[in-house]
Amino acid sequence: NAPVFIQFVMGIFGGIGADVETFVCLKKIADKLVGDSCRRSVLAVGAAQIPMAKTASRIGGHVRVGRENSLFISRGEPAQSNAQLVAKIRSIVEALGMEVAVPDAVREILDLKGGNRVAL
C-alpha cells in the first residue's frame, strides 16, 4: 500500500508532447484516478528537459534528468556529463526554494534497496 509513483515520459517522438498544459492535465488525471498523494516525476527529452523539470518542481513533482534524455545543457552547448545536468536542475530547484533529495532519500522515496543490498 505504498504511495503510487508515476513517471511521466514526455516529448518522445510519437508520444505525448512536453508542454506545461499537457503535464498539468496528466497531473489532474493522476490525482483523480490514484489520489493526490501519488508521487509524480517528469522525464522530458531534448530541449524540453529543463523547462519540464522546472514545471514539475513548481507543482510538487520529482524530476529525472540526464544525457540519455538530452545531450545539451543549453541551446547549442553539449552537456559534458550527467553531473552537469543534475547540477543545473539542482540550482534551478534550489532557486525555487525547494530541496533536492540526496541519494539515500531518493532510495527511500522510491523504496529501492540500494546497491549494497542487492545479491548480484
Cell 488525471 identifies what position? 29
Cell 548480484 identifies what position? 120
**Which pLDDT belongs to residue 83?**
93
Strands (E) in 2-119, as ranges, are: 5-10, 39-44, 62-63, 72-74, 77-78
What's the sign of the alpha-carbon dihedral 58, 93, 50, 37? negative
Q: Is the distance from CB of 57 to CB of 63 less than 8 angstroms?
A: yes
pLDDT tens sequence across 19-65: 999 999 999 999 899 887 788 899 999 989 889 999 999 988 888 88
Q: How far apart, in whole angstroms, are the C-alpha atoms of residue 97 and residue 50?
A: 17
3-state class (DSSP) for residue 23: helix
Whether pLDDT at 112 is above 90: no
Query: How large is the C-alpha radius of gyration of the chain?
Result: 15
Whether pLDDT at 1 is above 70: no
Which superfamily, per CATH, for 5-117?
Aldolase class I (3.20.20.70)
**Which pLDDT belongs to residue 32?**
92
Enter the DSSP assignment of 7. Answer: E
Q: How confident is the model at residue 103 (pLDDT cuts 50, 70, 90)?
A: confident
**Which pLDDT belongs to residue 65?**
87
Domain ranges of the chain: 5-117
pTM over 0.85: no
Whether pLDDT at 120 is above 70: no
